[in-house]
């Protein structure tokens, strides 16, 4: 009886392995993962030419100020950063930094630096600032894939991810050393749109709040948040004109607008604008 049971178990295992090997869905998922991994790698590598040819350094004027502000925040804390009066910027008037910048870029780099130090991985804040945009370019490819997959198909999502990874206009704003707001804001923009479509399709408060949180991150990172807060109401208005109003749209838009507006007002530079 033991031999028979072992033989039956072995047969079941072989059948499961054979089914997994010849399951089209499993191969499709594996291929999609492989393509997305290559897309991330290609997008990251294409943005390293300045570091490979020269050295790891911040270039251009705004990225240098952003790096200096990030370094000040890491050394002195977020509260002191918000109340920092920089007498070297906007000379001779000076600049109240906390109320005149979008702090999302600095907070993102500072959080990564804090986590790495918590894991006993010593790294200078400058290196994080240099490589932040190339790393987020890969995350942008993933968010574009999720967005396109949600509105069209997985195949179209793979094409969109490949295109956004190598599009010249985006590369020029996210190369290594270009430590500017667009480096993280494009990811936040596309991820917010993905979560918005998800919330409209499901009508769940969870996805609506997630899209509002992503919108809050976008507001903290870049002034281009107006694209989101204008296009999403326009999307809802067009759906109303097309006669596609539903309880799901009502739930998604109400939660997104209320939570997103309240959160965005917490950014000092935005406030009640």
- Specify whether the CB–CB gap between 85 and 95 falls below 8 A: yes
Q: How sure is the predictor about 1, in pLDDT bands with cuts at 50, 70 and 90?
A: very low
- 30/53 Cα distance (integer angstroms): 35
Neighbours of 96 (CB within 10 A): 15
The residues that bridge with 85 in the sheet, in sequence order, are: 96
- Specify whether the CB–CB gap between 217 and 188 falls below 8 A: yes
- 179/190 Cα distance (integer angstroms): 19
Residue-wise pLDDT for 133-150, tens only, equals: 999 999 999 999 999 999
Q: Judge whether residue 19 has pLDDT over 60.
A: no
Preceding amide of 92 cis, omega within 30: yes
By C-alpha distance, which of 179, 199, 182 is closest to 252?
199
Q: Judge whether residue 211 has pLDDT over 70.
A: yes
Residues constituting the chain: 273
Domain ranges of the chain: 1-180, 182-273
Cα atoms in the 13 Å half-sphere on the side-chain side of 214: 24
Q: State the chain's mean pLDDT as an integer.
A: 87
142: left (phi over 0), alpha (psi -120 to 50) or beta: alpha
Structure-model confidence comparison of residues 1 and 211, the more confident one = 211
Q: Judge whether residue 165 has pLDDT over 50.
A: yes
Note the Cα 223 to chain centre separation in Å.
16
Q: Which residues contact 146 (CB under 8 A, 6 or more apart)?
A: 157, 191, 194
Residue-wise pLDDT for 37-93, tens only, equals: 999 998 898 898 888 888 888 888 889 999 999 999 999 998 999 889 988 888 888
* Angle at alpha carbon of residue 200, lines to 133 and 249, rounded to 5°: 135
């Amino acid at each position: 009886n033991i031999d028979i049971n072992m033989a039956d178990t072995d047969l079941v295992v072989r059948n499961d392995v054979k089914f997994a090997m010849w399951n089209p869905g499993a191969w499709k998922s594996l291929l999609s993962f492989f393509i997305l991994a290559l897309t991330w790698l290609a997008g990251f590598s294409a943005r390293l030419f300045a570091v490979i040819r020269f050295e790891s350094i911040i270039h251009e004027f705004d990225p240098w100020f952003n790096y200096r502000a990030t370094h000040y925040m890491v050394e002195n804390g977020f509260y002191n950063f918000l109340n920092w009066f920089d007498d070297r910027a906007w000379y001779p008037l000076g600049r109240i930094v906390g109320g005149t910048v979008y702090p999302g870029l600095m907070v993102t780099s500072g959080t990564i630096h804090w986590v790495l130090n918590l894991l006993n991985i010593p790294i200078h804040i400058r290196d994080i600032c240099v490589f932040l945009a190339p790393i987020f370019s890969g995350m942008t490819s993933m968010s574009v894939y999720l967005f396109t997959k949600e509105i069209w198909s997985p195949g179209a999502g793979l094409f969109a991810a490949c295109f956004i990874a190598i599009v010249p206009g985006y590369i020029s704003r996210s190369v290594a050393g270009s430590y500017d707001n667009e480096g993280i804001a494009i990811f936040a923009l596309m991820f917010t749109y993905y979560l918005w479509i998800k919330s409209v399709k499901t009508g769940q408060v969870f996805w609506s709040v997630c899209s509002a949180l992503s919108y809050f991150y976008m507001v903290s990172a870049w002034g281009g948040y107006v694209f989101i807060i204008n296009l999403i109401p326009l999307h809802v208005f067009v759906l109303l004109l097309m006669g596609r109003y539903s309880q799901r749209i009502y739930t998604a838009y109400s939660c997104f607008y209320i939570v997103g507006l309240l959160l965005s007002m917490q950014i000092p530079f935005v406030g009640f604008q």
